[in-house]
Amino acid sequence: MTGPGPFFLDEIFFVVMPYLAFIIFLLVSIRRYLTQSFTFSSLSSQFLENRQHFWGLVPFHYGIIAIVTGHIIGFLIPREVLAWNSQPLRLYVLEVSAFVFGLLTLVGLVSVIVRRFTVSKIRMVTSTADWILFGIFVVQILSGLYVAAFHGWGSSWFAAVATPYLWSLLTLSPDIAYVTAMPWMVKLHIVCAYVMIAFFPFTRLVHALVVPNPYLWRKTQVVRWYGIRRFASGRPGADRKM
């Protein structure tokens, strides 16, 4: 294991990078949404290849959603997570299920990459950004699995170490003492996360920002009126758009 790197490198990786990544993420996403809303799409390729699609996309998405949710929970309610982990059995259950979801993500990602490589139709709709993205994902997921396997009880020390660090970033008083002492694989995982956040708005990942939210509570049929409807009687425009 290597010791903590030179001081300025830590500053760059754990103070400058997160802020930079977050600002890039925010500004580019908003700009893209405002000026290039046409480019927001799932860019699904199920139409071109319908069988391998299932074995890649489904495990990957369920895996990554569970993992990301887990990280967010650890960040938002660390105390409750620690309390949950106070009983060994519950800790084991959490650790094992987190690892399983990580594996699910990896299996999904590998079959997605294999599909992109082998199906010629799919290669036609694969961009350079996609390949870079796959690279980042591979590093991120493998490092995450390594940490989960060899630096155990992550669900507990995430709450005790990473959460205070992230909160310190959020409150604009960065304290990197929490992370500088971490094993280098954990550091890699953190830095790679920042790279991904910064790269996010330039890639197809933006579809995650436009997941269908009005659908579950909107009216079944959507009618749009052009301009102002001519109501002689003042009938309320109950069905004006949605």
Partner 1 sequence: MNVRSQISMVFHLDKCIGCHTCSIACKNIWTDRRGTEYMWWNNVETKPGTGFPTQWENQEKYRGGWEKKNGSINLRSTSKARTVTDIFHNPSMPGMDDYYEPWTYKYDELFNAPEGPDQPTAKPVSMVTGEYINLEAGPNWDDDLGGSKIYAENDPNLKGLTAEQRMQLSAIERLVFFYFPRICNHCLNPSCVAACPSGALYKRGEDGIVLIDQKRCRGWRSCVAACPYKKTFYNWTTGKSEKCILCFPRLETGQAPACFHSCVGRIRYLGVLLYDADRLEGVAKSPDEELIDAHRSMILNPNDPAVIAAALENGVHESVIVSAQKSPVYRFVKEWKIALPPHIEYRTLPMLFYVPPMSPVMAEKNDDTVGSVSDDFFHDIEQARVPLQFLANLFGAGHQGKVVYALKKQKAVRTYRRAVTVGDIDIKLAEKMLLEADCTVEQAEAIYQLTSLCTFDDRFVIPPMHREEAIEMMKDPHEHRSSVGFGFVEAPERGL
Q: Which of 107, 149, 134, 136 is nearest to 194 (CA)?
A: 136
Q: Site residues for partner 1, window 189-228 (CB under 8 A)?
A: 202-204, 206-207, 210, 212, 214-216, 218, 220-228
Q: How far is the CB of 56 from partner 1 (least distance, A)?
A: 9
Q: Which are the contacts of 137, defined by CB distance < 8 A and separation ≥ 6?
A: 109, 196
Q: Which of 139, 131, 130 is nearest to 193 (CA)?
A: 139
Q: How far is the CB of 180 from partner 1 (least distance, A)?
A: 35
Q: Site residues for partner 1, window 20-49 (CB under 8 A)?
A: 35-49
Q: Scan for tokens 């996403």, then name that residue.
A: 29
Size of the site for partner 1 (CB under 8 A): 60
Q: Scan for tokens 């799409």, then name that residue.
A: 41
The helix/strand/coil state of 101 is helix
Q: How far is the CB of 135 from partner 1 (least distance, A)?
A: 15
Among 1, 79, 233, 236, binds partner 1 (CB under 8 A): 233
Q: How far is the CB of 185 from partner 1 (least distance, A)?
A: 29
Name the maximum alpha-carbon separation found in the chain.
Answer: 79
Q: How far is the CB of 109 from partner 1 (least distance, A)?
A: 13
Span near partner 1 by CB under 8 A; candidates 1-9, 122-130, 148-156, 187-195: 122-130
Instruction: Decide: residue 74, CB within 10 A, 0-12 exposed, 13-18 middle, 19+ buried.
Output: buried
How far is the C-alpha of 77 from the C-alpha of 87, rounded, in Å? 17
Span near partner 1 by CB under 8 A; candidates 2-10, 91-99, 127-135, 166-174: 127-135
Span near partner 1 by CB under 8 A; candidates 15-23, 50-58, 142-150, 180-188: 50-58
Q: Scan for tokens 């796959």, then name that residue.
A: 134
Quick check: 61 binds partner 1 (CB under 8 A)? yes
Cβ 193 vs Cβ 210: under 8 Å:
no
Quick check: 127 binds partner 1 (CB under 8 A)? yes
Among 7, 30, 80, 121, binds partner 1 (CB under 8 A): 121
HSE-CB of 168 using CA atoms within 13 angstroms: 15
Residues at the interface with partner 1 (CB under 8 A): 35-50, 53-54, 57-58, 60-62, 120-121, 123-125, 127, 129-130, 202-204, 206-207, 210, 212, 214-216, 218, 220-233, 235, 239, 241-242
